Amino acid sequence: MNIAIIGLGLMGGSLALSLKKEKYIKSIVGYDHNKEHQEEAIRLGLVEKIASFEEVKKCDIIFLAIPVNGVIASLKELKDVCKDTTIIDLGSTKEKIVASVPKEIRKNFVAAHPMTGTENFGPSAAIENLYAEKVVVLCDLEDSGELQTSVAKKIFKSLNMKKHFMKAKEHDRHAAFISHMPHAISYSIANTVMKQEKKKNILALAAGGFRSMSRLAKSSPDMWEDVFRQNKENILEAIELFETELSHLKKSIKNDDWEKVHQDMSDGTKLHDILD
């Protein structure tokens, strides 16, 4: 199979590194609107060459590893691909992407969200095993072609990913709580501290807890603005529910209700009974 990856940052670059070792892959080419990313991807050996968009269209599999708005725009430009072509997007939101797929290529399209990543971005952030042992959510597969579904499953299996299936609308609500809200909180924590503390104090006092909670604030603002816009209603619901929880804790601390404070924290630790 000949593969094209549109978007050569963390997700696309890591995908290229992981797929290069697979015997069923004949070639991997890349496409990226950022000239520096193109040059860096070639220098790092992520892809064999930077292809034109017309060359991309001729590949067997096209991955869209770009922000959500870019995925939607690219799908409009891919309406004339061959009926056997498989198009897989890796966007962090799914409902608006799925709704925007041109009817001419709906069978070609597979909506996927690999639940993985780091706070870094760009081709230099690519990691070979980024996808291994992680979950990939596949949405609305009943609307994808039989061939395309089979191809997508084969690829994610070869990446050693754990497949989960759900509707796009369901995915977006869950992702708002598990992924999108934590990013919003991390940016807010970083901004709160930056507006209160001098740089030398931050460097001197920032220990593991602060570094862990603010780590996501290193993520690409371009990408996450796109995610917040596309999943606005779900993210607002998640933030409002978080604000309610935080206000309860604030009230308990203010009222010296340390028993309630302790109970809230004890309830929170139960999350790791599920995660660990």
Residue 199 in this model has a pLDDT that exceeds 80: no
Angle value at C-alpha 47, between 59 and 71, nearest 5 degrees: 60
What is the reported pLDDT for 194? 85
pLDDT (tens digit per residue) in 71-101: 999 999 999 999 999 999 999 899 999 999 9
What is the reported pLDDT for 71? 93
pLDDT (tens digit per residue) in 221-235: 888 898 999 899 999
Q: Which domains does the chain have, with CATH numbers?
A: 2-166 (3.40.50.720), 171-275 (1.10.3660.10)
The number of beta carbons lying within 10 Å of the beta carbon of residue 192 is: 11
pTM (predicted TM-score): 0.84
- The percentage of residues in the chain with a pLDDT greater than 70, rounded to a whole number, is 100
Residue 217 in this model has a pLDDT that exceeds 80: yes
Please give the residue that has the higher pLDDT: either 196 or 141.
141
What is the reported pLDDT for 197? 75
Which of 121-125, 157-161, 196-200 shows the lowest mean pLDDT across its residues? Answer: 196-200
pLDDT (tens digit per residue) in 5-56: 999 989 999 999 999 888 899 999 999 988 999 999 999 999 999 999 999 9
Residue 244: partners with Cβ closer than 8 Å, 6 or more residues away: none
pLDDT (tens digit per residue) in 133-163: 999 999 999 999 999 999 999 999 999 999 9
Identify the band that residue 102 occupies on the pLDDT scale cut at 50, 70 and 90: very high
What is the reported pLDDT for 276? 66
CA distance 51 to 31: 6
What is the reported pLDDT for 209? 80
